[in-house]
Amino acid sequence: MLAGGGARGFAHVGVLRALEADGYRPAALVGVSMGAAVSVGYALREDWYPALLAMDTGAFPAPMPTAEQQRDSLRQRLRARRLGFRFAYRLLTGWGIGTPAREAGLQALRTLTLGQSLEDARVPVAVSTTDLRGGRRHVIRTGDAAEAVYASVALAGVLPPLERDGLLLADGAYADLAPVGVARDMGPPVVIAVNPGQALAGAEVRNGLQALRRATEVCNLSHADAGFEQADLVLRPTFRRTIDTLDFAARRECVAAGARVVRGHRAVLAALLDPEAPPLPADSPSAHHLVNRHGLAR
């Protein structure tokens, strides 16, 4: 199960490549947001690794200057103010700042998916989205692959949602960042989730708007953690710096983080996936979790 995370979702590419190098291949894939793009690209293409690295993300807006950049540069402060006004204007007059890029984004996804349907995938794949009208998760397993991925990556306020079968579909992370149950329903005996999220940093809260935004972040992350707990193993790539959701220039850095987390969990992965692997030592950090679920530690 590959979770969202914007640009950090390229860590999934590193995870899949490292797993394949160790002889493991997924029996099924469930993707959310950027995890959906990686899942579908992997499932539809034999050349998935170079295709995903070359994916055109130019349709997305550039990331907002960081607080540190704004402190150090008048130019960056002015740029942040200009982007903020543009963001607010596009929200009030349309679907968001990325509205003009909708068709370019869909075309990039058609290139990635080779114009195929989800039914053409070499392994079963499901894409998790959010139906804004119904207020619930909506899982797509059939039909146009590019449209399914677009729906799952359509960040509110950035890209317009997708109209499909009477539903209004947006980023899957809003309804369920960790649809582990969907993965279990697809049949694999072991569910491994990859969470490229970053820890919620401390922040000053000085007004009602900041309080509302902060409370929403805390709520979303708390629900996500509860969902990830249902997986047999959660791989959490660590990044050497804070990477913005829209910082797609950092994709190779994120790929490397994904490969590192697999290398750091080789013994745990073998205990879960290789019937001939020795049991984990009792003092392994993952032993308690795995013995409760599988009896793999002694």
Residue 104 CB burial class (10 angstroms; 0-12, 13-18, ≥19): middle
Q: Which of 33, 39, 152, 286 is catalytic?
A: 33
- Amino acid found at 83: L
Q: What are phi and psi of 62, to 5 degrees?
A: -70, 150
Long-range residue pairs from 280-288, CB within 8 A, at least 24 positions apart, any chain: 286/233
Give the helix/strand (H/E) hosting 177: none
Q: Decide if 33 is catalytic.
A: yes
CB-based contact 102:110 (threshold 8 Å)? no
Give the integer Cα–Cα distance in Å for 184 and 226: 16
- CB atoms < 10 A from the CB of 78, how many? 12
- CB atoms < 10 A from the CB of 249, how many? 13
CB-based contact 137:179 (threshold 8 Å)? yes
Please report how the helices 34-44 and 145-153 are oriented relative to each other, as an axis angle in degrees rounded to 10.
160
Q: Which of 131, 144, 171, 232 is catalytic?
A: 171
Give the integer Cα–Cα distance in Å for 172 and 149: 10
Token pair recorded at residue 233: 């193993």
Instruction: Name the residue among 71, 82, 271, 278 with its Cα closest to residue 190.
Output: 271
Q: Decide if 171 is catalytic.
A: yes
CB-based contact 152:129 (threshold 8 Å)? yes
C-alpha 205: how far from its chain's center?
Answer: 27
Question: What is the Cα Rg of the chain in Å?
Answer: 19
Q: Which residues are catalytic?
A: 33, 171
